[in-house]
Amino acid sequence: TKTYLEDYAPPPVTVSHVALRFRLAPDATRVTARLTCERRGPGDMVLDGEALKTLRVALDGAKITPEIDGDRMILRETPDAFTLETEVEIAPEDNTELSGLYMSNGMYCTQCEAEGFRRITWMLDRPDVMATYEVEIESDLPVRLSNGDEVAPGHWRDPWPKPTYLFALVAGELVATSDRFVTSEGRDVALNVWVRPGDEGRTAYAMDALKRSMRWDEHVYGRAYDLSVFNIVAVDDFNMGAMENKGLNIFNSRYVLASPETATDADYANIERIVAHEYFHNWTGNRITCRDWFQLCLKEGLTVFRDQQFMQDMRSEAVQRIGDVMTLRARQFREDAGPLAHPVRPESFVAIDNFYTATVYEKGAEVIGMLRRIVGAEGYAAGCALYFERHDGEACTIEDWLACFEEACGADLGQFKLWYSQAGTPRLRARSEWADGIWRLHLSQSVPPTPGQENKAPMTIPLAFGLLAADGRELLPTRLHVMTGADDVVEIPRPERPVPSLLRGFSAPVILEDDLGDADRLVLLAHDTDPFARWESGRRLSKDRLMRHAAESTAFDAGWLDAVAAMAVSDADPAFRALALALPGEDDLAQSLHETGVVPDPDAIHATREAALAAIAGRLADDLDGLRASVATPGAYAPDAEAAGKRALAATLLRLTTRLDGGDAARAAYATADNMTDRMAAFTCRLEAGDPDAAAEFEAAWKDDRLVMDKWFMAQVAHAAPAEAVAVAERLTGHPAFDAKNPNRFRAVLGGLIAGNPAGFHAANGSGYRFVADWLVRLDRSNPQTAARMSSAFETRARWDADRQALMGEALGTMREGATSRDLREMVERMLG
Ligand code: ARG
Ligand code: ZN
């Protein structure tokens, strides 16, 4: 059954206080709940409960036999104020869905967002019911944690009203790394990062990131922490990245644990970002939460935007922005272009867990970024301040959020709001013309149809642009043009023909179709003052070459190779050079070919990228070793952005060298690597070179480290030759260390194929599709959320040739037949259309 935004109604009876007692046991945990209930309007009280053994229900102390209809308990004609007591039994050890209370390596933990609390006890499991909590945990386990402040051992009280989805409980044999933080308001906060014994040497970076996040939110948003303790717990079995439970954030261990020997620069950056993200939710999500799940982007889009701002401040603004745009295009543009496209604020769903998507998160963040650009930094600060003041303690909507900006900034956001309701990536066409001393930019926009939305209205598109002279001088610094109509013209008097630098900073999440020629792009690549636009012009040059090569085998021209080589040896920041040398990915090329009317061929695309790497390697051959030496990072490993940028460039150069020497340099680099970043770079090059000893050597050294072994599993699939990728993945699912019940391990192998090896996944004989479909059907029985999420592998079906489309359709049919959860079924049905 579907839930619709327009059907929202507040609950007639609400719960203001929740007292919980847990008697923990793996197979039979007793949960006693005492709910303080109050009538708010006419109607029945409908509680949610799933997979509960109900032992007792009492209303104001008197035992009752309530009406229970499946997952709902219906109480009719309740008094205006009353206490409801329930006692249930649950079995955390059998909870393989990892939603509700479950066990991971002998430790109890919870995941309640979005609708996991109902798997713990009967409750109004909806975000607009905000209650204070009191929790008692009975267990022999030494560490027993819940939300709020600990008032006695294992006894917690959370004074801040919160919805069920922010509830958390953890119990286990855990060790903490502890520190303190004094807030701007003078509150002394105990900070703990809890991990399994043996992992305590890997918590320092997460703790450091936490303290920096706390300080940053005070400085930039004026938001201070509000409890005396902040706990982070690392859990090995976790469906998502992490969870912002009040005062007790629970993390997938891969986003907490890091040491130079075991974590890569990318891992460090992810830890920094996700620790910040979950911490920032304390205000954008917890203090102010969502009225209903359709408003998910209210907290997620905003919190992603905040974590992106934080990362720009901690690292390089330019590098961070380019990386964020790459992610947006790779995940969200692809989603927006297929059958799973949905608005940033969806209007209906079967399983809300299917809407924790790139659109809600990443496009949701872009919408905040556009808003900030339109109202300006000061207007944004004023709107945020009003939002925090007016809505603290409330469960809100997008309308509430936008109203704060309309009032604080005097802006009319009526049309802007379409970004929340219209799905699909807008196309922005820009034609530039210079005549009679006037430069004109002719703009037109359109939004393609998406499922359920045939016709779209024009959007508000903030277009940041500047002008350069042919010799590279900047003629016009960045200016903002806010486009509102379907067509528009910008006019600027210029005595000479300028080179336009358009969509600076990627000021709107659109596909820009401009009419710039190679000469203009080369000027921008060499001179643009806006780093995103500079990178983008190089990207467009490369993409253009690779698309033509893949479609028509057009040879790579010397002009382009010279430009690439010039960038490689330039004095630009190494991280920027690494990004500029990175070729567009196979999936990106396939989507762009499809959009220009070419049916993409996955093997040809893979071969094109290989040919491009070989051509660039050949062009740079004499420089590669020297360049790599020039960005060496001798001395102890440090995870900072500057050193990471050097390692990224070194890895890119090693990959090129591998095309020339068959893997000799990679073997040498592997042998001398003293950190996991360099080691993985060398390892993946060895795999690409077909080095027969690479995998065994790595395994022998790291077999006892679960997070490093995830990398081993994934790399072998992602860096296999496409023709062997499915067989490698199949073989690895038979490895003794493969465990489908652990989402990280499962994603390593299956995700290594789907996202890491597109040409392998799209093997012409359909073996990749069958392999993935069969595994997802199997996984669906134990873990529907992860199975449903990964099924988006098939969202690109319409892109491919008729044979592949038929094979993907068969795989979707297999999943429709085999699906046991509404999660997977909803995804498959949306993809089948
Ligand atoms: N709120 C969490 C985070 O961003 C994600 C939780 C997702 N849970 C889910 N079942 N889909 O930061
Ligand atoms: Zn979040």
Per the document, the length of the chain is 833
pLDDT tens profile 348-387: 999 999 999 999 999 999 999 999 999 999 999 999 999 9
Q: Is 113 touching ligand 1 by the criterion CB < 6 Å?
A: yes
Catalytic residue flag (residue 491): no
pLDDT tens profile 540-563: 999 999 999 999 999 999 999 999
Instruction: Find tokens 């801040």 and name the residue.
Output: 160
Confidence band for 706, pLDDT divided at 50, 70 and 90: very high
pLDDT tens profile 428-441: 999 999 999 999 99
Minimum-distance ligand 1 atom for the alpha carbon of 281: 12
pLDDT tens profile 68-120: 999 999 999 999 999 999 999 999 999 999 999 999 999 999 999 999 999 99
- Which residue of the set 50, 115, 272, 278 is catalytic? 278
Q: Is 238 touching ligand 1 by the criterion CB < 6 Å?
A: no
The alpha carbon of 309 and the centre of ligand 2 are apart by a number of angstroms equal to 15
Average pLDDT over residues 599-613: 98
pLDDT tens profile 707-748: 999 999 999 999 999 999 999 999 999 999 999 999 999 999
ipTM > 0.90 for the complex:
yes
Minimum-distance ligand 1 atom for the alpha carbon of 353: 11
Q: Is residue 233 within 8 Å of residue 251, measured between CB atoms?
A: yes
Kind of pairing, strands 229-235 and 188-195?
A: parallel
- What per-residue confidence (pLDDT) applies to 693? 98
Q: Which residues pair with 136 in a beta bridge?
A: 21, 155
Minimum-distance ligand 1 atom for the alpha carbon of 285: 1
Q: Please tell me the pTM assigned to this model.
A: 0.99
Q: Which residues pair with 439 in a beta bridge?
A: 434, 492
The alpha carbon of 648 and the centre of ligand 2 are apart by a number of angstroms equal to 27
**DSSP string covering 65-118, please?**
--EEETTEEEE-S--SEEEEEEEEEE-GGG-TT--EEEEETTEEEEE-TTTTGG
The alpha carbon of 304 and the centre of ligand 2 are apart by a number of angstroms equal to 7
H helices, E strands: number in the chain: 28, 31
- In this structure, which ligand is nearest to the CA of 284? 2
Q: Is 296 touching ligand 1 by the criterion CB < 6 Å?
A: no
Atom 2 (ligand 1): residue with closest C-alpha? 243
CB under 8 Å to 765, separation ≥6 — which residues?
Answer: none
Angle at which helices 767-782 and 802-818 cross, to 10°: 20
CB neighbourhood size of 629 (10 A): 10
User: What is the DSSP secondary structure assignment for residue 201, as one 8-state letter?
Assistant: G
Q: Is 530 touching ligand 1 by the criterion CB < 6 Å?
A: no
Atom 5 (ligand 1): residue with closest C-alpha? 243
User: What is the DSSP secondary structure assignment for residue 196, as one 8-state letter?
Assistant: -
Confidence band for 26, pLDDT divided at 50, 70 and 90: very high
Confidence band for 215, pLDDT divided at 50, 70 and 90: very high
- What per-residue confidence (pLDDT) applies to 228? 98
- What per-residue confidence (pLDDT) applies to 769? 99
Q: Is 250 touching ligand 1 by the criterion CB < 6 Å?
A: no
Q: Is residue 460 within 8 Å of residue 484, measured between CB atoms?
A: yes
Pocket test for ligand 1, best of 97, 113, 166, 783 (most atoms within 8 A of CB): 113
The alpha carbon of 91 and the centre of ligand 2 are apart by a number of angstroms equal to 28
Average pLDDT over residues 227-250: 98
Minimum-distance ligand 1 atom for the alpha carbon of 300: 4
- What per-residue confidence (pLDDT) applies to 651? 98
Between CA 507 and CA 345 the distance in angstroms is 20
Q: Is 240 touching ligand 1 by the criterion CB < 6 Å?
A: yes
Pocket test for ligand 1, best of 99, 243, 357 (most atoms within 8 A of CB): 243
Atom 8 (ligand 1): residue with closest C-alpha? 113
pLDDT tens profile 440-451: 999 999 999 999
- In this structure, which ligand is nearest to the CA of 99? 1
Q: Is 533 touching ligand 1 by the criterion CB < 6 Å?
A: no
CB under 8 Å to 429, separation ≥6 — which residues?
Answer: 443, 444, 445, 513, 514
Between CA 464 and CA 210 the distance in angstroms is 33
Q: Is 243 touching ligand 1 by the criterion CB < 6 Å?
A: yes
Minimum-distance ligand 1 atom for the alpha carbon of 278: 12
Q: Is residue 815 within 8 Å of residue 776, measured between CB atoms?
A: yes
Q: Is 353 touching ligand 1 by the criterion CB < 6 Å?
A: yes
Average pLDDT over residues 272-289: 99
> In the chain, what are the helix, strand and coil shares in percent, each to the nearest 5?
45, 20, 30
Kind of pairing, strands 45-48 and 29-39?
A: unpaired
Q: Is 356 touching ligand 1 by the criterion CB < 6 Å?
A: yes
CA neighbor of 249 nearest in space, from 349, 109, 139: 109
Atom 11 (ligand 1): residue with closest C-alpha? 353
Spacing of C-alpha 778 from chain mean position: 25
- What per-residue confidence (pLDDT) applies to 777? 99
CA distance to 278, 401, 402, 404, 405, per residue, from 386 (Å): 22, 9, 11, 6, 8
Atom 1 (ligand 1): residue with closest C-alpha? 243
CA distance to 10, 380, 470, 549, 578, per residue, from 557 (Å): 64, 46, 22, 11, 21
- What per-residue confidence (pLDDT) applies to 570? 97
Mean pLDDT of the chain: 98
CA neighbor of 73 nearest in space, from 60, 84, 61: 84
Average pLDDT over residues 572-590: 98
Average pLDDT over residues 229-235: 98
